[in-house]
């Protein structure tokens, strides 16, 4: 197995395991290593880097959204039909992998 193939498989594994930042790091290192004569590889690597970057940003945004929801749920206020405040009991659920 060539070094290039092995590194591409590592990037794929990182993406599939939910670590797009690691995949992007691998891909960017590969992109820098590829000689200008290997132009046929540059296009696919650029697309893979773009996908990894987008996945990494999406994961970061999802984490921020879930964190904000957890924080906001602590201040939930509801009112009964007479307009009186009613306490809402919330419990913290453990958040697992997305």
Q: What is the domain partition of the chain in residue ranges?
A: 3-86
> If you write DSSP's letter for every residue of 22-46 in order, what string do you get?
HHHHHHHHHHHHS-GGGHHHHHHHH
- Beta partners for 79? 85
Average pLDDT, the chain: 79
Q: Are 60 and 85 in contact (CB under 8 A)?
A: no
pLDDT digits (tens, 9 = 90+) for 19-76: 888 888 888 888 777 765 577 777 787 888 888 888 888 888 988 998 888 887 777 7
pLDDT digits (tens, 9 = 90+) for 6-24: 888 898 888 888 888 888 8
pLDDT digits (tens, 9 = 90+) for 54-63: 888 888 898 8
Give dist(CA 72, CA 21) in Å, integer: 28
Looking up tokens 């880097």, which residue turns up? 49
**CA gyration radius for the chain?**
22
Looking up tokens 């959204």, which residue turns up? 65
Please state whether the predicted TM-score (pTM) of the whole model is above 0.75. Answer: no
């Amino acid at each position: 197995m060539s070094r290039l193939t092995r590194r591409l498989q590592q990037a794929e594994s990182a993406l599939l395991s939910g670590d797009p930042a690691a995949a992007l790091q691998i891909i960017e290192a590969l992109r820098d290593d590829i000689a200008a004569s290997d132009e046929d590889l540059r296009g696919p690597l650029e697309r893979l880097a773009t996908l990894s970057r987008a996945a990494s940003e999406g994961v970061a945004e999802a984490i921020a959204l879930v964190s904000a929801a957890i924080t906001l749920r602590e201040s939930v206020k509801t009112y009964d039909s007479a307009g009186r405040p009613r306490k809402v009991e919330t419990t913290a659920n453990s958040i697992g992998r997305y």
